[in-house]
Amino acid sequence: MGTVWLQQAFKQAEDGEQQVIAWRRQIHRHPELGFEEEQTSQLIGTTLKQLGIPYERVNRTGVVGRLIGAQPGRVIALRADMDALPVQEKTGLPFASEIDGKMHACGHDGHTATLLGVAAALAPFRAQLNGEVRFLFQPSEEHFPGGALGMIEAGALDGVDAIFGVHYIAGIPSGKVGIIPGPMMAAPDTFTLKVTGVGGHGSEPEATRDPIPAAAEMIEALQTIVSRRVSPLKQAVVTVGTIHGGYANNVIADEVTMTGTMRSFEEPLRRALFDWMRQIVGGVAAAQGVEADLAIEEGYPPLVNEARMTALVQQAVRNVFGPEGVLAIPPSMGGEDFSYFLQHVPGAFAHVGVHNEAKGIAGAQHSPTFMLDETIFLPTTQLFLQVVADFLENGLSGA
């Protein structure tokens, strides 16, 4: 029975391809930052209502739709994020952002439109579905603490057996899907380090405690964390991204402030990075006679794909995109709050390529020239449909 409705749903998706593109362009024209996605949420709610799919607003601007099949069964959740970025668009597209200083420069407009397309393709077949398909439209993925935790706290995952999501990625060719089991994206933690000394005249350094050489020594020492404390068989990053200090060429400053990021894939290593940073900063500060205040802000946890769910998605990609559609990509040091969902239920997250040099679609993620290859929406919609069928109807779980 699953095979019959799936083929019909594929046809439904083909018929609705232009509507998905229209939704995406509407959302793209009116980008909204995290927890400001009112117009986007209204569009989602109106569409779900027209499809006869019950929904509720959660976590301020989030939307949860529930398509419950006629027969009992498992519950699968599909997630799309909705928020834009504070970027001034420079694509020249006829449907470019109409909001100054805001742009969908990461593909979330495509995620939202695609998931609406999945809902529209599935809605006519609820009488043939065993179980439930839950649609999670999540706010504020771009800025920590993100919107996933609030969705979870509001009950979006209650009763869910598995969850799946995708991200449109500029670094992968259109028509390819990158996915691997295990750690796929890193924990994007950040830090602020304030070094305080005693300022004075540049001609009398003996009367001061100069924070600038202390800060320089700290930067040098922090580089030894990855090169000398982390096993070469593991992956980590410690980056000092900004440094601010000093007032004039003949003044010894009284403070220096630095900010940076740490990236890692495993929780024990993540905790070790924090400890090593504190040890190094404290040791240098004591040696230099200055004070150091290190504030670490923990970001999203590492995104870890469950092996069986990853295998399910990989097979679905082969069915929809073809045998060569799956890419075994290396883990990314980028972060994603889909990781919170995966801490609660098994699932998998995939990167769907949208890079198409022949069409001039080559802008980098988060850049003013980022664009999507809209021909990818249909196969991605069908990929979600295939995953739903395999998980709910065919009894496949990647085992």
CATH number reported for the structural domain that contains residue 290 in this entry: 3.30.70.360
Query: What confidence score (pLDDT) does residue 4 get?
Result: 86
Same-domain check for residues 77 and 9: yes
Whether the pLDDT of residue 3 is over 80: the answer is no
Residues 117 and 94 in one domain: yes
How would residue 224 be classed by pLDDT, with cut points 50, 70 and 90? very high
- C-beta contacts of 15-18 below 8 A and 24+ residues apart: 16/117, 16/120, 16/121, 16/381, 17/117, 17/377, 17/378, 17/381
Mean pLDDT of 208-235: 97
Out of 297, 317, 341, a domain closes at 297
Task: Please report which confidence band the pLDDT of residue 395 belongs to, taking 50, 70 and 90 as the band edges.
Answer: low
Please count the structural domains in the chain. 2
The answer to whether position 251 is within a domain reads: yes
- Do 211 and 309 sit in the same domain of this protein? no
Question: Within a domain: residue 100?
Answer: yes
In this structure, is residue 399 part of a structural domain?
no
Same domain for 203 and 57:
no
| pLDDT above 70 coverage of the chain, percent | 98
Residue 279 lies in a domain: yes
Reported as a single tens digit per residue, the pLDDT across 47-63 is 999 999 999 999 999 99
Note whether 128 and 211 are same-domain residues: no
Chain segment 347-379, per-residue pLDDT in tens:
999 999 999 999 999 999 999 999 999 999 999
**pLDDT tens digits, residue range 104-149?**
999 999 999 999 999 999 999 999 999 999 999 999 999 999 999 9
> What one-character DSSP code corresponds to residue 197?
-
263-274 residue pLDDT tens: 999 999 999 999
Percent of the chain surpassing pLDDT 90: 97
**Within this chain, do residues 247 and 356 fall inside the same structural domain, yes or no?**
no
Tokens of 144: 């920590």
Per the structure block, which two tokens stand in for 290? Answer: 């200055």
CA–CA separation, 32 and 73 (whole Å): 36
Q: Are residue 132 and residue 195 in the same domain, yes or no?
A: no
| Residue-averaged pLDDT of the chain | 96
Give me the pLDDT at residue 393, please: 85
Is the pLDDT reported for residue 1 higher than 60? no
* Digit-coded pLDDT (tens) for 147-198: 999 999 999 999 999 999 999 999 999 999 999 999 999 999 999 999 999 9
Same domain? For 161 and 306 the reply is yes
Per-position DSSP letters for 225-257, written without gaps between them:
IIIIIS-TTS-EEEEEEEEEE-SSTTEE-SEEE
Q: How high is the pLDDT of residue 60?
A: 97
> What is the extent of the structural domain holding 42?
2-184+302-393
The residues near 13 (Cβ < 8 Å, ≥ 6 apart) are: 117, 118, 121, 378, 381, 382, 385
What three-state secondary structure class fits 380? helix
Res 2 pLDDT > 90: no
What pairs with residue 237 in β-bridges? 263
Distance between CA 320 and CA 385 in Å, rounded?
10
158 shares its domain with 237: no
Report yes or no on 398 lying in a domain.
Answer: no
Query: Is pLDDT of 398 > 70?
Result: no
- Can you give the pTM of this predicted structure? 0.94
Same structural domain for residues 108 and 213? Answer: no
| pLDDT recorded at residue 396 | 57
pLDDT of residue 27 exceeding 50: yes
Domain limit, last residue, from 297, 314, 342: 297
**170 is a domain residue:** yes
Domain CATH code at residue 137: 3.40.630.10
Question: Do residues 272 and 307 share a domain?
Answer: no
Q: Are 142 and 283 part of one and the same domain? A: no
For residue 397, pLDDT over 70 is answered with no
Domain assignment present for residue 250? The answer is yes
Of 242, 268, 297, which residue sits at a domain end?
Answer: 297
pLDDT digits (tens, 9 = 90+) for 73-114: 999 999 999 999 999 999 999 999 999 999 999 999 999 999
C-alpha span between 105 and 116 (Å, rounded): 20
Cite the active site residues: 300, 374
CB 195 within 8 A of CB 292: yes
Grouping H, G, I as helix, E, B as strand and the rest as coil, residue 324 is coil
102 touches 32 (CB < 8 A): yes
